[in-house]
Amino acid sequence: MDANLRRPVLSETVRKHIQRYILEKKLKPGDSLPPEAQLAADLGVGRSSIREAMKSLQSLGIVRVQRGEGFFVRKWNLDPVLETLSYGICFNPAAFRELLQIRIWLESATIGEVVARITPREIAELDTIMQAWKARSDSKAAFADLDEQFHNVLYQTLENDTFASLLRVFWRAFETVNADLAGDADLEIEFQAHLAIFEAIKRRDAVLAQEKLLASFTNLEVRLHGTSC
């Protein structure tokens, strides 16, 4: 077989071996991997194959390469999804609408749990966000940041890092499309929609909170209709 054709196959084999090594050694985020020369000797491959495998692992968010220091295990994350998301939803606009629908399903399904778990501290955080939002309700720049903060505080109550990572995927997708608000009327609608969610949560009314959450998503779907990258 041509050597150039074998290299991707060899690199893939090396990558899988390193992944197994991380799991078998029970390495944790921040732990270092053996140096390039040692890995090459242990696997009986050239250093170029190790470098290619590490580039692949880096793109997958599994390994961090630090110049002059070596290779380190990264904390599991959804960064690779974020990297390809911009291209994906521009290549297939329907993917963004489907992603938004997934977000609606997830948030509406968990809002009841949020209402049951939320603490006075988190309610105070939401209150601070809403006060800041009210003071800057005519600012498009502030809208996106405060909106994200609001939802992050809501769902941090679930203490689920993977769910939090999924929310970040949704927010980055939202930033990718041309989702600018049409005008001040839309900004006020969004503020009032989130204020209604907040008031329902303060009342510990899970049914009303879900109703207001879904209403806010209806506003979002209308505003995003026909948008593109």
10-34: per-residue pLDDT in tens?
778 899 999 999 999 999 999 999 9
Looking at residue 7, its pLDDT comes to 54
pLDDT at 196: 97
pLDDT band at 2 (very low <50, low <70, confident <90, very high): very low
Q: What pLDDT score does 226 carry?
A: 59
The 10s digit of each residue's pLDDT in 36-94 is 899 899 888 888 889 899 999 988 889 998 887 889 999 887 777 776 776 777 777 78
Strand partners, 73: 63
Full-model pTM: 0.73
| Average pLDDT rounded to a whole number, residues 128-139 | 87
Residues 178-211: pLDDT tens digits? 555 555 667 888 899 999 999 999 999 999 999 9
If 0-12 CB within 10 Å is exposed, 13-18 middle and 19+ buried, where does residue 20 land?
A: exposed
Name the pLDDT band for 225 (thresholds 50, 70, 90).
low
Domain boundaries 3-73, corresponding CATH code: 1.10.10.10
* CATH 1.10.10.10 residue spans of the chain: 3-73
State the pLDDT at residue 4. Answer: 43
Token representation of residue 159: 């203490």
CATH 1.20.120.530 fits 79-224, yes or no: yes
Return the pLDDT at 186. 76
Q: Of 126 and 45, which is predicted with more confidence?
A: 126
Q: Whole-number mean pLDDT of the chain?
A: 85
Instruction: Provide the residue type at 102 as one letter.
Output: I
- Which segments of the chain belong to CATH 1.20.120.530? 79-224
* pLDDT at residue 168, as a whole number: 83
8 A C-beta contact, residue 40 and residue 48: no
- Residue 66's beta-bridge partner residues? 70
